[in-house]
Amino acid sequence: MASNPYFSLAVLFVAALGFGLAPLGLAWVWARVFSPAKPNEVKNAIYECGLESRGDAWMQFRSAYYLYAIMFLIFDVEAVFLLPFAVAFTGLSLAACMAMLVFVLMLVEGLVWAWAKGILTWA
Amino acid sequence: MAVEEGLKIELGKQGVFVTTIEELYNWGRRSSIWPMQFGLACCAIEMIATTMARYDLARFGGEVFRPSPRQADLMIISGTVTKKMAPQVVRLYNQMAEPRYVIAMGACAISGGPFKQGYNVLKGIDRYIPVDVHIPGCPPRPEALIQAFMTLQKKIDGQHLTGPDRPRHLDAEAQGEFPVPEQGAHDLEPTSNAGVWPVPIVIR
């Protein structure tokens, strides 16, 4: 057996396996002996805000809400870009101002479209 | 078995350092106590001050405040526990992983403090959960909280891995659940946890 050319390889393989498994086994033994699990209903609760959760998380939301999300995005994106624009306003060239104006108009167009569609009135 | 103290010091002088698993384990536990990030009342402001640069709780390894009870070791009851809040506090304590510790900070957490006669304030959180360290004060100074922290560390250092006096988390038999009180018609039900707080007998 020892004369087999693959013998040293097998020895190395077992050693490598032990090197990997020994720490895992030690951790497992440590956990079993020195930190016994004490599960209970309160501890295993899904949420951890101190209050008991009520009802099911798998509920349906009205699909109409996505429109509000899009509307929010218009103002959100606008605010993000308007702030640096306002800061750098005095040093901007005419072309930059025009570009910004076009951008704002595009967003306003979306708002006007939504308004015309009657999305802003709560159904 | 543990090395004799004298031999340990003698070996240390020669540059040989010996330790025990128990010491190493306790050292690891006491040096990284993660408190839970929650405040109840004015004491919480002092608790926040303790963690900041001036008082710097990080010197003792306790600056990692965790907003989730699953990741926290230490619950600092920082302030008045109203009867409305008590079930939540007990539930959060239940959800912390073992080993877990409790510091009752300030007069209110210990006994209800100035609100003891009030109908809506719990007369001490130790009625429901085991408290390791009490610090009096209204509110206690940050130094007092640090003192409580060091006291807790000393307490952890003195614990044993085995034997009848080992802490609860090492005892597989010991239960980890503490009943969460519920709002009754006039008071919390039950009014205390008999396993943690024996009801004192009033002699008139």
Q: Which residue has the tokens 């057996």?
A: A1
Structural domain spans, chain B: 1-31, 34-160
The pLDDT-based confidence of B3 (bands split at 50, 70, 90) is low
- What pLDDT score was predicted for residue A123? 64
Residue B73: closest CA among B86, B60, B55, B82: B60
Q: Tell me: the pLDDT tens digits for A27-63?
A: 999 888 877 888 888 888 888 888 888 877 788 877 7
Q: Is A122 left (phi over 0), alpha (psi -120 to 50) or beta?
A: beta
Q: What is the rounded distance in angstroms from the CA atom of residue B201 to the CA atom of residue B123?
A: 16
Q: Please tell me what DSSP assigns to residue B152.
A: H
ipTM of the complex: 0.75
Q: Decide if B201 touches A, using CB distance below 8 A.
A: no
The pLDDT-based confidence of A70 (bands split at 50, 70, 90) is confident
CA distances from A24 to A19, A28, A108, B106, B197 (A): 9, 6, 60, 43, 40
- What pLDDT score was predicted for residue A10? 93
Q: Could you tell me the pTM of the whole model?
A: 0.75
Region of poorest pLDDT, from A39-53, B67-81, B84-98: A39-53
B-chain residues near A42 (CB < 8 A) = 91, 94-95, 177, 180
A-chain residues near B92 (CB < 8 A) = 48, 50
Please state which architecture CATH assigns to domain B34-160: 3-Layer(aba) Sandwich (3.40)
- Out of A34, A36, A42, name the one closest to residue B177 (CB): A42
List the single residue in A with minimal CA-CA distance to B180: A42
